[in-house]
Amino acid sequence: MKLLDAIKEQNYPVPAHSMRLSYMFGGIAAFLLVPLAVTGVLLAYYGYVPSAEQAHKTAADATVFGSLAGIRAVHSLTAELFLALIFLHATRIVVTRSYHGERKIIWYTGVVLLFVAAFFFLTGTTLKLDQAGYETYAHLTLFTSVNQVWFRGAHVILLPILIVVILGVHALLIKEKKISPLAPGRRSDDEPDSTFFHHMQHVVAYGFIATSVAFLLAAFYTPPLLGAPVEGVEWTKPPWPFLFLYPLNSWALISIPLAAFAGLVALPFLTKPEKRFDLSQAIYFVVVALWFGLSLYGAFKHYA
């Protein structure tokens, strides 16, 4: 009975607008951690060896869907979708300015989660150790002596645990502070309530759809695995979330993330809920426009 009562306590009331897809991006991203974990375990089970000597060979030796190549494709595409959903979730938070007042603590845990997820993505890129993976590793170790073993340990042990812990804290804070409201000026006091379980039913349904999309894409497209790395040569470009760094110099690898982190932390202090559009939103969307512009430039820029 106590267990049933404890479960029932989790079915707390949530506003009806929580049933909108835009209020489920974060939950769907969390759901994708399941297929990411499963495909990661399968990669290890089917023989992928993330060592400097065998990483590229064990990935390159794979054949078609259902084998290591197909699993790697699903894992890679799901990781990209996971990162994209976190970005969409953050954008929705900015649009509704759900980081003002006491809710800023939720925003801060989300910002940390975003940066951990980004590093998780980058460490995964290094593990295949093709030319692109090697160059990513070389850039990440430009200012440190950390070796490949540390990246493997971070990707398969440390970062998954860290993400689950931060996500758990994030979810508990959302329960305490409630699901974020509509944008200022669009609140409705008499809005009918839904329940958390009803909300999660939709999140899981969308999560299965997102996973199915990743599997479907993997059936027709396998993220490229380039040749074995050649030291001292650099000709590849970063994956799309980090393509904006390509036109910039090496110091941007440190300065840009630090500036982005500081800016995201500052947003709650710049918001004015009584206005229809405030400085925090302006800064965020200017930065997004710069990211998009630099990414577009990087996509067409040839390495010098």
- What pLDDT, in 10s, does the model give residues 215-266? 999 888 888 777 777 777 778 888 899 988 888 877 777 888 889 999 999 9
Q: pLDDT at position 91, please?
A: 95
What pLDDT, on the 0 to 100 scale, is given for residue 202? Answer: 94
Per the structure, the complete domain to which residue 93 belongs is given by: 14-234
Comparison of pLDDT for 99 and 248, the residue scoring more: 99
- Global confidence as pTM: 0.89
Backbone angles phi, psi at 249, to 5 degrees: -85, 175
Position 207 in a domain: yes
Inside any domain, residue 288: no
DSSP codes joined into one string, 188-212: -TTPPEEEHHHHHHHHHHHHHHHHH
> Is the distance from CB of 156 to CB of 166 less than 8 angstroms?
no
More confident residue, 276 or 209: 209
Examine the pLDDT at 144 and tell me if it is beyond 50. Answer: yes
Residue 276 lies in a domain: no
Q: What are phi and psi of 15, to 5 degrees?
A: -65, 155
Task: Confirm whether 25 is domain-assigned.
Answer: yes
Residue 247 in domain: no
Domain CATH number, residue 85: 1.20.810.10
- Cα(83)–Cα(115) distance, integer angstroms: 10
| Total count of domains within the chain | 1
Q: Report how far Cα 161 is from the mean position of its chain's Cα atoms.
A: 15
- pLDDT tens digits, 43-62: 877 766 665 566 666 666 55
> Amino acid identity, residue 290?
L
Is residue 98 included in any domain, yes or no?
yes
Query: Would 215 be classed as within a structural domain?
Result: yes
Q: At what angle do helices 104-127 and 131-140 cross, to 10 degrees?
A: 130
153 lies in a domain?
yes
Cα–Cα distances in angstroms (integers) from residue 181 to residues 14, 89, 250, in the given order? 10, 14, 41
